[in-house]
Amino acid sequence: MVSNRESRGGRPFAFFRAGARVGAEGAERPILAFEDVYKFFGKDQPALRGLNLTIERGEFVFLTGPSGAGKSTLLKLVYRELTVDSGRILFCGRDIARLTDRSIPFLRRNLGIVFQDFKVVPHWTVFENVAIALEILELPARLVRSRVGEALERVGLSGRGDERVGTLSGGEQQRVAVARAIVSEPALLLADEPTGNLDPTLAVDVLTLFEEIHQTGTTVLFATHDHGLIERRDHRILSLEQGRVYDVRRGLASWSSSGVHAVREARRAAG
């Protein structure tokens, strides 16, 4: 059902900027909440089954699990590429599944999304790839130039806006993708295997970049199957297995190997 505000042509979805002050009511709400979420891709074959999960504002969360466990599915549900079959996903208290088609772009303006395959345009310049995220908001050209410059500086690409993205290394292209994701100062940054195509040294560099962004107030949900990255940090860990989530709030030091994805044992077995 379309709200009165939407039917009058008002802004369909509020902006929740990273680090912005929120009212008392907003501060009490988690930035993301899954309530008994099910998603099916085949009869009696749920990718997610009864998922209950809360992510608070300002958290850095690793989302891990074996291939096919549902990590990408979970992220796609958040930015509404997919819809739940039952249950609710609340972003800043708003039920994502109930948004009208017209509201979805406004939801996505609150989200930064980084993919494994970068999704940059090779024949565009670095500046053009990042600026597109602001140009769709119809911001003044002067403001676009200023904010793109700031984003490129944050990801270590200051002064390289005129270079064609196709001439950059894989690690540099991923930095362009990160700059594009953060240039609008999103409240929530979603990363879908962002280091999957990078060598181990570059992967750590990209993880560190996400952590620096997190320190500015952005909530980060970082999906990865790279156990080496997870072991380097003490962030909260969510493990997806067979459609269910297991929550470990203090890194691997508190991870029981009984009944959940046993990272250390898996690494030993791999030799």
Domain count, the chain: 1
Count CA atoms within 13 Å of residue 213 on its CB side.
36
**In this predicted model, what pLDDT tens digit does every residue of 76-103 receive, in sequence order?**
999 999 999 999 999 999 999 899 999 9
Distance, CA of 148 to CA of 4 (rounded, Å)? 36
| Residue at 178 is within a domain | yes
Which band of pLDDT confidence, cut at 50, 70 and 90, is reported for residue 3? very low
Does residue 118 have a pLDDT over 60? yes
Q: What pLDDT, on a 0 to 100 scale, did the predictor assign at position 83?
A: 94
Give rounded-to-5 percent helix, strand, coil for the chain.
35, 25, 40
User: Could you give the C-alpha distances from 59 to 49, 110, 211, 214, 220, in angstroms and in order?
Assistant: 24, 16, 10, 8, 6
Chain centroid to CA 134: 18
Q: What percent of the chain has pLDDT over 90?
A: 62
| Residue at 140 is within a domain | yes
Instruction: Give the mean pLDDT of 248-261.
Output: 51
Task: Kindly give the interhelix angle for 200-214 and 170-182, rounded to the nearest 10 degrees.
Answer: 10
Does residue 16 have a pLDDT over 60? no
| Residue at 126 is within a domain | yes
The domain containing residue 164 runs over which residues?
Answer: 120-185
| Residue at 146 is within a domain | yes
Find where tokens 């996903």 sit: 89
Cβ contacts of 83 within 8 Å, gap of 6 or more: 77, 97
Find where tokens 């700059």 sit: 179
| Residue at 173 is within a domain | yes
User: Could you give the C-alpha distances from 109 to 126, 224, 227, 255, in angstroms and in order?
Assistant: 20, 23, 31, 35
Cβ contacts of 264 within 8 Å, gap of 6 or more: 252, 255, 257
| Residue at 129 is within a domain | yes
Distance, CA of 237 to CA of 260 (rounded, Å)? 12
Kindly state the greatest CA–CA separation across the chain.
62
**In this predicted model, what pLDDT tens digit does every residue of 155-165 receive, in sequence order?**
999 999 999 99
Say if residues 224 and 218 touch (Cβ distance below 8 Å). Answer: no
C-alpha closest to that of 224 among 200, 249, 250? 200
| Residue at 55 is within a domain | no
| Residue at 102 is within a domain | no
Q: What pLDDT, on a 0 to 100 scale, did the predictor assign at position 14?
A: 57
